[in-house]
Amino acid sequence: MSIEHTPPSTYILRELNDVTVPDSISWVPQTIGWKVLLVVLIIVAAYLSYRWLLRWWCNRYRTEAIEALTHLSIEHHHFEDILFSILKMVLVYLDPANGKLFGRSFLQKIDELSDESTLFNDEIAQKWVQSLVNPSTVLDSREREILRQRAVLWAKTHQGNSQKFASVRSLFDKRSNERTGRGESRHV
C-alpha cells in the first residue's frame, strides 16, 4: 500500500517558493590569460612529446642491440662471431665508414665512442679479436660473460647519437648555406 504525499497546507509553509537550480558553470576559460596559458601548455606538451619520440626513434638501434646481446648465450658455438657482428652492425649504423674496421682499429673505435674508460683495451678483448680469425684461440665461459657484459654496457652508454645528430645538423646547415649564398654566410 502506497501513501501519497501532498504538499503541506499549513500557513507557515504557504509562502515558501521552490529553490531554483543555478545554471551550470562552463569549464572553458573565460579570460584571455587562461586561454594563452592553455595554448602554451599544449605547445610545451607537444614539444616534449616530439623530443621523447625523436629520442626513442634515434635510440631504437640501442634497444635492438641490447636485446640481441642479452639473448646471446655464452654457450653458443659461434658466440665470438655473433658478438662481433652485433657490435659491428651498431658501428656501421652510427657511421658507414666503420664497416672496414677490424682488429685493433675496431676495438679502438669502440673505446673512442665509449663513455666509460676503455672497455675493450685489454687482454680479453685482444684474445676475442684473435679468436675471430684463429680457431685454435678459444674463450672460456668467464671471458665470454665479461665480453657480453662490456658489450651491453657499451651499447647502453656509447655516445653515437650526438655524433649522428651532429652529422644530420651539419647536412642541414650545408643545404641552408647553399640556398642562401653558395656556402657563404650572410649577415643582416
pLDDT value at residue 21: 80
Residue range 44-53, pLDDT digits in tens: 999 999 999 9
What gap in Å lies between CA 108 and CA 118, rounded to an integer?
Answer: 9
The pLDDT value recorded for residue 24 is 86
pLDDT at 1 (0 to 100): 54
Q: Can you give the pLDDT at residue 23?
A: 85
Residue 28 is predicted with a pLDDT of: 83
Q: Can you give the pLDDT at residue 175?
A: 56
* Regions of the chain where pLDDT drops below 50: 162-168, 183-188
User: Is residue 80 within 8 Å of residue 131, measured between CB atoms?
Assistant: yes
What local confidence, expressed as pLDDT, does residue 185 receive?
Answer: 44
